[in-house]
Chain A
Amino acid sequence: MSNIAIIDYGMGNLYSVAKAVEYVAGSKDTIIVTSNADEIAASDKVIFPGQGAAKDCMSALQQYDLQSTIIDAANQKPFLGICMGMQVLMQMSEENNGVDCLGVYKGSVKYFGNHLTIGSGDNSYKVPHMGWNCIEQQQSHPLWKDISESSYFYFVHSYFVATENESLIAGTTNYGPTFASVIAQDNVFAMQCHPEKSSQVGLQLLKNFIHWDGSNTVN
C-alpha cells in the first residue's frame, strides 16, 4: 500500500504516466497528480516526469516553487525521474545556451548533435533519438526485477545525461555515444526513456517502483 505523488508542474502530459501507474497499482495504492508541495512531502513515493525544454522545466519548477520539495523528496523517499525529470536532477544542461538545473547529482546534460553525425548514412544518426532502444543494466537493482538485460524501452530526446560518477549509472544505451540512460543512487532511480510508453517492460518497471522500499537490496 503506497501513496504515490506524480509531480505536475505543467510540463508535458501526465495522463499517460498516471494511467500506466494506475494500471499496475494495487487497489490499496493511492495515486495523485499534484503540484502541491505539502501533498508531495506527505506522499510515500514520488514520480517526477517532464517533457519539453530544460529552461522551461526549470522556470516552471521555480514558478510552482517546487525545487526544494523535489530535492527533499530525492533525498528521502523512493523517487522515479522520467525523461526531463532525470535530466534536471543534474547540475546543468547545454540546452537553451546553458541552464542551471537542480544539482542533485554531479554531471551535465549534453546535446546529441555535438557527439554524433546527424544524417541517414551508415554511421550517422537522426536527432531526436526517437523510438525503441536497449538498456544495458549496469548494476543489479530492485527496479530491474523481471526485466531482461537489453530490454527495449521507448525514448524521445535530443539531450543525454553525462556523468563521471560511474557508480551512479544503472543503465546505458548506445546512440552514437553510449550514454547513461538510467541513473540510480540510494532511493532515487531516474531514466531517460518513458516506462509509461514502453509496453509490458515499462509496466513491469513501474510495478517494481510501486513495490520498492527505496533500498538498493535486490531480493
Chain B
Amino acid sequence: MPLAKRIIPCLDVDAGRVVKGVKFVDIRDAGDPVEVAKRYDREGADEITFLDITASSDNRDTMVHVVEQVAAQVFIPLTVGGGIRKVEDIRTLLNAGADKVGINTAAVFNPEFVKQASDKVGSQCIVVAIDAKQVSKAGEPLKWEIFTHGGRKPTGLDALEWAQEMQDYGAGEILLTSMDRDGTKVGFDLELTRAISEAVGIPVIASGGVGTLAHLADGVKIGKADAVLAASIFHFGEYTIQEAKSYMAQQGIVVRS
C-alpha cells in the first residue's frame, strides 16, 4: 500500500479555547483542545491543525500551553498556525510538542523568514499557508493571486509562482486555501488545487469549501492533493473522520485504517 492520503481536522483556538462551536455530545467540554484532539485521534484523524486566532498578543503563551497539554496526551502530528513571525516562536512551539508550524502572512511580507526558519528547524517543520483567490475572468486562462488579511488584501503575487518560490525557500509542505471557497461548503477549488499540486514537489494540503465527503475525495482524486483539511463538517458532527475515511477508501483512495 502506498502512502496514505491524510485527513486533517482544523481547530480554531482563541485564548486557549476551541471556538466556532465544536459540537460533540460525548465529550464533557467541547472548548477543551485536549478533549477535542483526543476525540479526533480516536476517530482516526491523521494530523490535527490548530489555528491560533487569538487577537491579543498578550495571550500568545496560551497557545504554547495548549500545545504542551495536547502533545502530552495525543500522539499524532500537530501543526500550529496563526501569528507566527519569529524563528523563536517556531522553536517554542516545536519544543512544546508541535511537529509543524504554519507560516502565512509573515511569508508574504518577508519570504526570507521561511528560509531562515527552514534552515534552523528543517523544512519538514515548515508549512507555508497560501490564501489564493481567482483573479482571471470567465474565458481567460485561469489565474490565482495571493491575498492576505482573510482574503481582503491582494498582494499582486501569482499563486503558482508563489508556491514554487516558497518551495525554493524551504517550505516542506503547502497548506492551500481557496478564499473563494472558504466557508461556502461547495467544495475545494479543484483547478487551483491541482495547478498548485502539479507545480511543486512538496506535499499540498487542500483547504477551503468542504461540505460533503465527496468534496474530500475530489480534492485528492481531481485536485491531486496529498491531504485534505476541513473544519465544520467534522466539528458539527455531520460526519466523523471514520466516515470520511470509509468513503474515500470506497473511492479507491488509500487511507490509514
A binds B: yes
A contacts, CB < 8 Å to B: 12-13, 15-16, 19-20, 23, 51-53, 118-120, 125-134, 150, 152, 154-158, 174-175, 196-199, 202-203
20 CB-based A-B contacts, threshold 8 Å = A12-B122, A13-B97, A15-B96, A16-B71, A19-B71, A19-B73, A23-B72, A51-B125, A119-B198, A120-B204, A127-B202, A128-B203, A132-B3, A132-B4, A132-B46, A152-B4, A152-B256, A156-B124, A158-B124, A199-B41
Is the pair B75, A196 in contact by a Cβ cutoff of 8 Å?
Answer: yes
Chain A residues with CB below 8 A from B123, complex form: 128, 158
B contacts, CB < 8 Å to A: 1-6, 41, 46, 68, 71-73, 75-77, 94-99, 121-125, 172-173, 197-198, 201-204, 224, 226-227, 256-257
Chain B residues with CB below 8 A from A130, complex form: 124, 172-173, 203, 226
Is the pair B226, A131 in contact by a Cβ cutoff of 8 Å?
Answer: yes
Is the pair A128, B202 in contact by a Cβ cutoff of 8 Å?
Answer: yes
CB nearest to B94 among chain A residues: A13
A197 to B98, CA, bound (A): 11
**Chain A nearest CB: distance from B139 CB in Å?**
27
Name the 4 nearest CB pairs between A and B, nearest first. Answer: A118-B201, A152-B256, A132-B256, A132-B4
Is the pair A132, B6 in contact by a Cβ cutoff of 8 Å?
Answer: yes
Q: Contacts A130-B173, A131-B226, A133-B3; is A15 near B197 (CB within 8 Å)? A: no
Chain A residues with CB below 8 A from B226, complex form: 126, 130-131
Q: Contacts A128-B202, A157-B124, A197-B76; is A15 near B71 (CB within 8 Å)? A: yes
A206 to B72, CA, bound (A): 15
A52 to B76, CA, bound (A): 19
Is the pair A131, B197 in contact by a Cβ cutoff of 8 Å?
Answer: no
A28 to B27, CA, bound (A): 31
Is the pair B227, A131 in contact by a Cβ cutoff of 8 Å?
Answer: yes
Chain B residues with CB below 8 A from A120, complex form: 197-198, 204, 224
Is the pair B68, A15 in contact by a Cβ cutoff of 8 Å?
Answer: yes
A118 to B76, CA, bound (A): 26
CB nearest to A206 among chain B residues: B75
CB nearest to A19 among chain B residues: B72
A162 to B28, CA, bound (A): 48
Chain A residues with CB below 8 A from B5, complex form: 131
Is the pair A15, B97 in contact by a Cβ cutoff of 8 Å?
Answer: yes
**Chain A nearest CB: distance from B176 CB in Å?**
13
Is the pair B97, A126 in contact by a Cβ cutoff of 8 Å?
Answer: no
CB nearest to B257 among chain A residues: A152
A196 to B121, CA, bound (A): 19
Chain A residues with CB below 8 A from B173, complex form: 130
A158 to B202, CA, bound (A): 11
Greatest chain A CB density within 10 A among B46, B73, B201, B257 is at B201
CB nearest to B2 among chain A residues: A174
**Chain A nearest CB: distance from B208 CB in Å?**
19
**Chain A nearest CB: distance from B252 CB in Å?**
13
Among B75, B94, B203, B204, contact of A20 (Cβ-Cβ < 8 Å):
B75
CB nearest to A196 among chain B residues: B75
Chain A residues with CB below 8 A from B98, complex form: 13
CB nearest to B99 among chain A residues: A197
Chain B residues with CB below 8 A from A197, complex form: 75-77, 99
* Known pairs A131-B203, A156-B99 / 7 extra A-B pairs, C-beta < 8 Å: A13-B98, A16-B97, A119-B198, A126-B202, A131-B3, A157-B124, A197-B77
**Chain A nearest CB: distance from B88 CB in Å?**
14
Chain A residues with CB below 8 A from B2, complex form: 133, 174-175
A129 to B224, CA, bound (A): 16
A132 to B201, CA, bound (A): 18
